[in-house]
Chains A and B, each alone.
Chain A
Amino acid sequence: MSHQIIQDRREFLKASIMAFGGAIMLPSCLRNYTPFLFFTADEALLLTAICEQIIPADENGPGATQAGVIYYIDKQLYEVFTWEQDKYRLGLTAINESSLELFSANFDMLPTDKQLLFLKKMEGNELPDSYWKDNSASGFFRTIIQHTMQGFYGPPRHGGNKNYISYKMINLDYPYVVGRNLYE
């Protein structure tokens, strides 16, 4: 555990430059914090409400919100599924616009039955066409379902399934309790 000290001048210069670099770039990244990499806070709220309808918390266990599905989708859109970014950005806007037209409120403010009704319409491509020119409502809905399932059941290192909560729900002992099997 020895603490290394900067040994020679070349390394020192390297160090200085890096530290300066750090200080100089500082102001460029001062901004309001959200825990998300891709979504805005409002987008995240809306999508969370949708995911929670797909996997709601009930007597069987936690729902998509508690499993942190939103973090999975956010992380994947930022790191991996970059080609889906537009689909989400436009799609979420279209959902809110459609919701405002049909129910005069943002989707996440609707009561559960209205949210379900809305999602059924979305699945059947029955939302106002004018908002869905660039994006298929039913296609986007299927994408969300897929991503919600992945985020809920997939391994936590991808962002979702917080605290392995879905494994617990299906009674999967994780991490598996087993010894070193020395003598067997």
Chain B
Amino acid sequence: MKRSRIIAIIFIIAFVGFFGSYSAWNAAQPEHTCASCHEINPSFHSWQTSAHREIKCVECHGTALSNGLHSLQEKGNMVLMHFTGDKHSADIRMSEEQILAIMDACIRCHQTEYSQWASGGHSTTYGRIFLDESHNQMEQPYWDCLRCHGMFYDGTIYDLVEPVSTSGPWKLKDDQMAQRPVIPCMTCHQIHTENDPYGQFAQRLDHDHAEPVVFDTRFPAVALYLRSDKQFLRADFLPGVDFFHNGQKINVSDDPLQRLCIQCHAPNFRREAGSEDNRTPYGVHEGLSCMSCHNAHSGNARNSCVNCHPATSNCGLDITTMNTTFFNPQSEHNIHFVSCDDCH
């Protein structure tokens, strides 16, 4: 046999062996593979108690091969850290590209939510947010813009758009960014939930405390990703704040999901309802949550009226044809703020 033949055979055996073990690796239960590495262990344990515990790691994260070199590099680094003892190993974080790659997986299983999201305002892109002439002329792009749109962006505003000033023309440094979504699913959804593995220990602490220490067992479906902290905060821990109208405090729904909305649809520093991008209702709909009318993903509110009307109409009229922005966007009676006095 020629030498080159032998080399080829060795290569083939190695090749088959490699793919054999590699596919076995990917098919196995995560506790025997991914999670056997302690760098990944926390993620494994949070997954175990999450809504997605039936779903294998590879379904979302892909495998080293399907996910491209980015993930390989990451795994390589992990191996390296494992042996060099780099102490920051517990803080593995995904890049924006990886977050968006994982989103492809979400879409496979959650078609309905995806198409709703795609049809609504939240599927907006870097192009639309950062190349808006009138907006940029009014206020130059700066770091805080990324708080509410572009929270997973890996660089700074200077890496994203130029010039960083109020006089254009503006362009994105990387053209390909233009179509990227700025509010992907993971803005509002945390997959690796923070169920407290400490629960089991806490039960052994049988103190005579004034208050029993309560631990969560189930994580709510919604959490906000905080760019500043590179962390999620679950919706029920977001602050519910007081809102004012004409100097008077108004009733505000304590729905945790509304607390999520007002983080971005936020008021001015005086917390005036309806200021800036805020839509906290006062008037006839005071105290209602955004979620009473809006679909979380499409933003559609047009189908909600029938849930409460006509049963609750004071005027005995069809509310959908009354003079509000619901009937006519140009109406001076904004559906969020209209009150009896405005019409009577």
**Chain A interface residues toward B at CB < 8 A:** 1, 3-6, 11, 14-16, 18-23, 25-26, 29-31, 33, 35, 37, 41, 44-45, 48-49, 52, 56-59, 62-63, 65-66, 68, 70, 75, 78-79, 82, 108, 111-112, 155-157, 162-165, 168, 173-175, 177-184
Assess whether A29 is in contact with B37, with CB atoms less than 8 Å apart.
Answer: yes
Residues of A within 8 A of B230 (CB): 157
- Tell me the B181-200 residues at the A interface (CB within 8 Å): 194, 196-198
B 107-142 to A, binary, CB cutoff 8 A, 1 in contact else 0: 000000000000000000000000000000011000
Known pairs A175-B233, A178-B268 / 20 extra A-B pairs, C-beta < 8 Å: A1-B101, A1-B103, A3-B62, A3-B66, A5-B65, A14-B72, A16-B18, A18-B72, A19-B22, A19-B72, A48-B202, A56-B210, A57-B211, A65-B205, A78-B87, A78-B90, A155-B229, A162-B194, A175-B239, A181-B269
Q: Does B25 contact A (CB under 8 A)?
A: yes
Shortest beta-carbon distance, B181 to chain A, in Å? 10
- Tell me the B144-190 residues at the A interface (CB within 8 Å): 144-145, 148
- Tell me the B229-274 residues at the A interface (CB within 8 Å): 229-231, 233-234, 237-239, 241, 262-263, 266-269, 271
Give the size category of B's interface with A: 35 or more
Assess whether A70 is in contact with B69, with CB atoms less than 8 Å apart.
Answer: no
Q: Which 8 A-B pairs have the closest CB atoms?
A: A4-B68, A179-B276, A179-B266, A173-B239, A35-B197, A163-B237, A79-B87, A18-B76
Q: Give the CA-CA distance A181 to B266 in the complex, in Å.
A: 9
Stretch of B38-46, B49-57, B288-296 that contacts chain A = B38-46
Q: Does B278 contact A (CB under 8 A)?
A: yes
Shortest beta-carbon distance, A102 to chain B, in Å? 19
Shortest beta-carbon distance, B84 to chain A, in Å? 13
Residues of B within 8 A of A156 (CB): 229, 231
Contact of A177 (CB < 8 Å), options: B36, B70, B231, B241: B241
